[in-house]
Amino acid sequence: MENYRFSWKSRKLYVDILASFFFITFGTTIATTWYTYHSNSESMIQVSEDLLTHVSKFSVAKVISYLNQAQLITHLGADLVKDKSPISNENQPLVAFMEGILRSYPYLSSIYIGTEDGKFLQLKSLDSTSTYRTDPSRSLPGGSTTSIRFINREGDKVSEVWEYQDAEGKILDQESIPKVMYNHLIRDWYVSVSQSRASQWSDVYVFSSTKKPGITTGYPLINAQGTFVGVIGVDIEMGAISEFLNETRISKDYAAFILTEKEEVIASTDKSQMVKAEGEKVRAINLNELSDKRVILGYQKFRNDQKDNFTFEKDGIEYMSSFSFFPKTFEKKWSIGLLVPIDTFVGSIKDTQRKILFITFLIFLISIGLIGFIARRIARPIILLSEEATRIKNFELDSNEEVKTDIYELQLLNNSISSMRMSMRAFSKFIPKVLVAKLLRTNQTVKIGGKLRRVTLLFSDVVNFTTVSENYPAEKLVLHLSEYFEEVTQIIMKANGTIDKYIGDAVMAFWGAPIVDKDQALNACRAALSLQHRLSSLNRQWAIEGKPVLETRIGIHTGDVIVGNMGSSDRMNYTALGDTVNLAARLEGTNKMYRTHIIISEEVLQEVQENCLVRPVDLVAVKGKSKAVKIYELVGIFQDDPALLPSEMQVNYCHLFTKAFQLYMERRWDAAISLLEDIKAHYGDDFAATMYLERCNNFKENPPPEDWDGVIHLTEK
């Protein structure tokens, strides 16, 4: 208490809240809501206008591109057709050329050639509803995609033949027209080109064969002598343009259309309103005849106000429109119009803003009633300190967050919590964190005692550490060993292990206590392999830095131990005791004899054999033990980190070595010798293979007694 003095910065919490809550909340809410709504709405409307203008320009450019391509096709075709006479459906190169045009430009409905001598050849794309010309009640054969129409006038004889073919050019059927009614020589598209001797566009008209509006472009055919011989033309159904307008659809209620100077609707997102029947005749529909009155009203406003972008209202709905004429360089005086409800763009903003206003008003009303209670009972610093205390209770000590406050009482509490956190951190350095967390969570007291538990123990030791310590400065050795221990500790803890103690350069760790771990043996093996893999990388780095390389041997064993708090009432150590601990330590030492790095017992193998790759090493009785233990070298693990996966060579080697070991134990010396020699030949010099080869040769010359069981009694730790 002596360290804290009252100052004017230490004041009661409710004073700040009562003085500012009402005005700040109310003013900020209203101002922010109003500004956000108007700012977002204006921005979205501007973006919407730009979008419509862009779509309009893009649509015009696309339409002109379609028409220019069609016109270019007639120009190119005129040059090619002169070399493909005669004009006939039997002229396969000519027919193939025209088929290629229709396939390459699907928006073209037909391509045709008419000549001065009365011949007319046309290729036309068919849809699934197409019928025979002589019998409109009969559908064409399935798969019909193209029709070939040839009219031949030779003197007084006139004939018209239709052929129907599939996508591969195979003729499926054909028919002859008994009475030829079509004469291209008097058609507008032919007459205008023949008179002008130049490329011409027709007005939009309704095609007699499809009853759909379209447009035709024609180009004169001039022979090498400069004589006019005919016209090549292509038809474009305006439905193809309507399809493109639909591709740019912005919303469900979006409308787009193209008008001629006569206000005929020649393309529209509503393709059902394109033509109108008058008796037996069909014509393009006029704008004023549309059932969609929005389009009529929008176009009238465009004509009256002469503005490209504007808004108008219809039936209580506000629309945004964009109108423009096709460029003057285009041959036709067409215009394009687009309209869309404004709510398409700002509707979601309006809806969100209404919800925000409602929620804000509701919260504000509730807050007014509770402000007095909140001012005295709740404050953010208290909540933060409470959360920090909870984290400490759960032994989550990584946080360094300091609660900043001018309130005197909370300053005291904050300092107390900070001191407690630092004390707990220091305490955690000397006892496993999982144990401390368990004690805190269950409110248990620390006392002497232990329980019988089945655990997996791991012992590691640095090879020739005495030699390293003699040849390396002590102060550097401490830092070097600390770096090594940091890596070992992190790997073991990541694998859910508990560090028991550091014994010089050795480490003792176990799994299965204080937290039960059903995968304890597998986790221990994973930690051992990860440690060797990480140490391999570190040794390369240390060698470059001029530091000593540290080679580590590991022993792993699973069994029953007494685990708990050992020591005196003043100083305890959470550790494991029992024969299992001693055997695990002895297994670490056996690595030296067999020149291996990780030795596991058969008890461990029984737990991990489905997941790990091992090879048998020997059947040994460690020093101080009479009972034999079968030991294995851990080679790899078939899961998790790809770096720990065994290679195909390792898998094959372990399989062959296991077989050789079995032959050795069965006293089949010759078979074992042969297999071991093959192993050395294919996999290089291996200490274990060499050792067993020497044993087999020795036993072959000096057979062991009948009671020989293969056990090797070790005399060193």
Segment 71-80, tens digit of pLDDT: 888 888 887 7
Q: Which residue type, as a one-letter code, is found at position 450?
A: G
Q: Are residues 339 and 319 in the same domain?
A: yes
pLDDT computed for residue 475 by the predictor:
84
Query: Which of the two residues, 458 and 15, has the higher pLDDT score?
Result: 458
Q: Are residues 88 and 225 in the same domain?
A: yes
Residue 554: band (very low, low, confident or very high) from pLDDT cuts 50, 70, 90: very high
What is the torsion angle, in degrees rounded to the nearest 10, for the CA atoms of residue 227, residue 232, residue 233 and residue 234? -160
How distant is the alpha carbon of residue 209 from its chain centre? 51
Q: Does the structure show a pLDDT above 90 at 659? A: yes
Q: Are residues 615 and 507 in the same domain?
A: yes
In-domain check, residue 180: yes
Least confident span in 420-434, 542-556, 677-691: 420-434
Q: Are residues 466 and 597 in the same domain?
A: yes
Q: Are residues 248 and 147 in the same domain?
A: no
The strand ranges marked E within 475-571 are 498-503, 506-511, 552-567
Handedness of CA 195, 196, 201, 202 (dihedral sign): negative
Q: Are residues 144 and 253 in the same domain?
A: no
Segment 696-705, tens digit of pLDDT: 999 889 988 8
How distant is the alpha carbon of residue 386 from its chain centre? 40
pLDDT computed for residue 175 by the predictor:
93
In-domain check, residue 34: no
Of the three residues 187, 204, 237, the one that is the final residue of a domain is 237
Q: Are residues 688 and 574 in the same domain?
A: no
In-domain check, residue 73: yes
Q: Are residues 556 and 590 in the same domain?
A: yes
Q: Are residues 221 and 75 in the same domain?
A: yes
Q: Are residues 225 and 106 in the same domain?
A: yes
In-domain check, residue 43: no
CATH label of the domain that carries residue 200 = 3.30.450.20
Query: Region 571-580: what's the mean pLDDT?
Result: 79
Closest among 636, 555, 638 to 590, alpha carbons compared: 555
Q: Which two tokens stand for residue 383?
A: 């909540």
CATH label of the domain that carries residue 638 = 3.30.70.1230
Q: Are residues 400 and 412 in the same domain?
A: yes
Residue 480: band (very low, low, confident or very high) from pLDDT cuts 50, 70, 90: confident
Percent of the chain with pLDDT over 70: 78
In-domain check, residue 41: no
The strand ranges marked E within 155-227 are 157-165, 171-176, 200-201, 205-206, 213-222
- Determine the structural domain holding residue 160 and report its residue range: 66-237
Structural domains of the chain, count: 5
Q: Are residues 608 and 691 in the same domain?
A: no
Of the three residues 210, 237, 264, the one that is the final residue of a domain is 237
Of the three residues 211, 237, 263, the one that is the final residue of a domain is 237
In-domain check, residue 126: yes
pTM exceeds cut of 0.85: no
Q: Does the structure show a pLDDT above 50 at 108? A: yes
Three-state DSSP at 645 gives: coil
